[in-house]
Amino acid sequence: MHLSGAKDIGLKPVRVMCCDNQPFNEQADNSIVQDIRFVPKGQCYFIEVVYKLRGSEKSVLLHKSNVIGIDNLATIVSNQHGVSPVLMNGKLIKSINNRYNRDQAILQSLGKGKHIKAKSIKRYNWINDHLHKVSRRILDVCLETDTGKIVIGHNKDWKQSIHIGNKVDNQKFVSIPHAELIKKIQYKAEAHGIEVVVREESYTSKASAIDLDVIPTYQDPGERIFSGRRIKRGLYKASSGKLINADENSALNILRKEIGNAFAKGLFDSGCVFQPMRATC
């Protein structure tokens, strides 16, 4: 892709994957590349290419639920029997943030503020690239299983009132741009005709999906009784003694909040929900 006047600002031709060739000054109805934006980001500029996507719409057949976190950046469960849950590894972003925080502390002690800006841009690029890969992997899972609807758990202002154990864990959670991941999932899924619903997820980590506990909404009046409990990090125990990954339990409860309990019994009887797979992008 060649931009007019690019030589004046030292910009070389840009290779894009959306089209092989587009005539200069092509009509909007026939063009693939619609818009090119130069977006200032602190000490640099980002080039954004807006283009048409040629895709086919999918009918809504099955549902998937996503819960987002720290060690498991996203946990994917389906109401389709025989589909194992997928745990998207979130440790890469933890590692990127840990390295950035360490380097930032060293540079601040040396009084090198300009170097911190360069490190911030590098961190942003790393995380943004990883979120694109994770959202693409989630979409691939949906396309492979013919999923027509994605349900994502998200509480309003959850990072302002976060308390997940200690100050360090709170900082790790806040430094992960979950909202950006949700946006990337939304636009990629909608381009394929997959509906995306973002709904509140209060008490989904406390209620037992296996026991089909009633899941209240935050600040609703009434007694809250839960059959199971989390016995350690990453493991939830139902009243029957069955063990399930804690993030899977939350994701299943988010799905129950959206579509009800009808899918759950057969899903647990199939046993696949107890055999999650870990994916790393």
Supply the pLDDT for residue 169.
59
The pLDDT, as a whole number, for residue 178 is: 86
| pLDDT the model gives residue 179 | 87
Q: Phi and psi (nearest 5°) for 40?
A: -70, 135
Q: How far apart are CA 207 and CA 143, in angstroms?
A: 30
Q: Which amino acid is at 167?
A: K
Sequence-separated (6 or more) residues with CB below 8 Å from residue 44: 121
Terminal C-alpha separation, the chain: 29
Residue 136 confidence (pLDDT): 94
**b/e code 112-142 from CB counts within 10 Å (16+ = b):** eeeebeebeeebbebbeebbeebbebbbebb
pLDDT in tens, 24-67: 555 556 566 677 777 887 777 777 777 766 554 443 345 667 67
H-assigned helices in 15-156 = 91-110, 113-144
pTM of the model: 0.75
Closest of 272, 215, 216, 280 to residue 248, by C-alpha: 272
| β strands within 52-106, DSSP E | 62-68, 72-78, 86-89
The proportion of the chain whose per-residue pLDDT surpasses 90, expressed as a percent, equals 23
Q: Given this model, what pLDDT does residue 170 score?
A: 54
Q: How far apart (Å, rounded) are the C-alpha atoms in residues 86 and 76?
A: 5
pLDDT tens across 100-140, in order?
A: 989 989 998 888 888 888 898 899 999 999 999 999 999 99
- Residue 183 pLDDT > 90: yes
Side chain identity at residue 54, one-letter code: R
Please state which of the ranges 183-197, 213-227, 244-258 shows the lowest mean pLDDT: 213-227
The pLDDT score that the predictor gives to residue 126 is: 92
